[in-house]
Amino acid sequence: MEQEAWLGIDLGTQSVRALLVRADGTVLGSGSAPLRGRRDGVRHEQDPGEWWTAVCTASRMALRERPARVAGLAVCGTSGTVLLTDGGWRPVSPALMYDDGRAWAEGERLRVAGLAVPNTWGLPKALWLRRVHGPGRITHQPDVITARLTGGPVPTDSSHALKTGYDVAGEAWPRLPAGPELPDVVRPGTRLGEVRASAAEATGLPVGTPVIAGMTDGCAAQIASGALRAGSWNSVLGTTLVLKGASPAPVHDPTGVAYNHRAPDGSWLPGGASGVGAGVLTAAFAGADPAAMDQRAARHEPAGAIAYPLVSPGERFPFLAPGATALLLGEPTGEADLWAALLQGVAFTERLCLDYLDHLGAPLDGPLTFTGGAARSPYWNQLRADVLGRAARVPEQTEPALGMAALAAHGVTGVPLPDIAERMVRVRTVVAPRPDRRGRFAEPYARLVDELTTRGWLPPPVAAHAHARLGRDTADS
């Protein structure tokens, strides 16, 4: 295993990333290729044909040196991204991305039938695709790639199938009266097949390389953080915010806001995905220098305005509110103050997510790790630690592709995934909260919680729990 390398492929929102990694975390090669999307209101689509082209480009870049034998690979994709394919696994519909919100009618019918699913989950979108595009097999984003790699039908993994209604505890699909054809399902880490000759020629991978069933990008980032022991949590801050933890038992949430993935070893990975994230910075400050803006924003603690910075309409975690919109309380004094308000608003949301998980009884006593694109900002990492009132680890590599490399190693060797991840993950720094900052953000956080409650988005018992935790933290500071 020490002489072998593992390839992780991440199908992201804006690009495909590939990493070739040794068991000790040494990155031997990397590659990327851009992806285009179509956004229009609640519509968000991609052309699935572009995924394979991008994977070939990114893989060839990562493998151009190939200093070690490629012993296996795994692929992750955006959670809840679905499409329809025909009998030959050819796409017969566009791919509806993770936050496409057009399936509101289907979501409402499913909720009336007793299934607590947000409109953006894969199951409502699968039914929408069936209604609009006709018959087809429901297919998750990575399945398109693994089918091309192996040259034949592949089962999907239970991690991507979760938001399409798959029962990961009972390991069965729900009964649907008239839905699209559903794929077979295997646990992450299962061997799907081997790279065939034509795929090897296109990607640069050796013929016969084992292809291992992956997980969603959020779970992949969690693996890349090493947060796989009970009580550990990974906060992935990219375009949006995803929190993933580890628990010996599932965390039950009757609203469906928090959900549980199943780890390859049968333990549980609870968490949720918010619509708040760094995407608001790109939208509000196109072309800005983030490092320069961070430096200016540091003089606005707290900011003159309080933000709930949703990237697009609707919220799914830490509360379910399809009608929620981005809000800004108060008037920023300028660009730097607005930038500060957005950074702080994301951190407030992150705190509220953890408050909600604590309300549900999730274990939170393990280490917290920051990953995602925003973890490259030292100032934002420090701000988040200050708002949360707890230390956070920041690994050298914060990419989901690293998590897929670790999962590929687990699938081929059988070594427990937590052990492999802890060897591959290299912690770059540990960010501790600054004691003198703890009280600065208590009042604006409390105001935001109250505003979310007044608007009917945040349930009052959750707000009361957040206030109680804030009171304990303030008393301890």
Assess whether pLDDT exceeds 80 at residue 454: yes
- pLDDT band per the 50, 70, 90 thresholds, residue 355: very high
Q: Are 242 and 273 in contact (CB under 8 A)?
A: yes
Q: For residues 382 and 273, what is the distance between their CA atoms, to the nearest angstrom?
A: 22
Q: Which residue has the tokens 């060839």?
A: 60
The tens digit of pLDDT for each residue in 97-123 reads 998 999 999 999 888 888 878 888 999
Q: How is residue 406 written in tokens?
A: 């670790």
Cα separation, 59 vs 56, in Å, equals 5
d(CA 81, CA 140): 6
* Dihedral angle, C-alpha 368, 369, 373, 374, nearest 10 °: 40
Which residue in 387, 382, 377, 380 sits closest to 445, CA to CA? Answer: 387
* CA distance between the termini of the chain: 47
Peptide bond into 118 cis (omega under 30): no
What was the pLDDT predicted at 1? 54
Amino acid code (one letter) for 412: V
3-class secondary structure, 7 = strand
| Strand pairing report for 69-76 and 210-212 | parallel
Range list of H helices, 33-88 = 49-62
**Within 13 Å and on the Cβ side, how many CA atoms surround 81?**
26
Instruction: Report whether 216 contacts 79 (CB < 8 A).
Output: yes
Q: Kindly report the three-state secondary structure assignment for every residue of 371-404.
A: ECHHHHCHHHHHHHHHHHCCCEEEECCCCHHHHH
Q: Are 136 and 93 contacting, i.e. CB atoms less than 8 angstroms apart?
A: yes
SS3 109: helix
CA distance 124 to 181: 14
> What domains, with CATH codes, occur in the chain?
4-214 (3.30.420.40), 228-476 (3.30.420.40)
Distance, in Å, from the CA atom of 126 to the CA atom of 81, rounded to the nearest integer, reads 10
Residue 140 pLDDT > 60: yes
Summarize pLDDT for 160-219 with one digit per residue, the tens.
Answer: 999 998 999 999 988 765 667 889 999 999 999 999 999 999 999 999 999 999 999 889
Judge whether residue 94 has pLDDT over 90: yes
**Region 414-424 average pLDDT:** 95
Mean pLDDT of the chain: 93
Entry field: residues in the chain: 477
Q: Classify 407 in phi/psi space as left (phi over 0), alpha (psi -120 to 50) or beta.
A: alpha
Residue with tokens 């591959």: 424
Largest CA distance in the chain: 64
Does residue 113 sit in helix, strand or coil?
coil
What is the rounded distance in angstroms from the CA atom of residue 274 to the CA atom of residue 124?
18
- Tens-digit pLDDT profile for residues 254-276: 888 998 999 999 999 999 989 99
More confident residue, 62 or 178: 62
Residue 475's pLDDT is what? 66
- For 202, how many CA atoms within 13 A lie in the half-sphere containing its CB? 15
Q: Are strands 327-329 and 38-40 parallel, antiparallel or unpaired?
A: unpaired
Distance in angstroms (rounded) separating the CA atoms of residues 214 and 172: 18
pLDDT of residue 177: 58
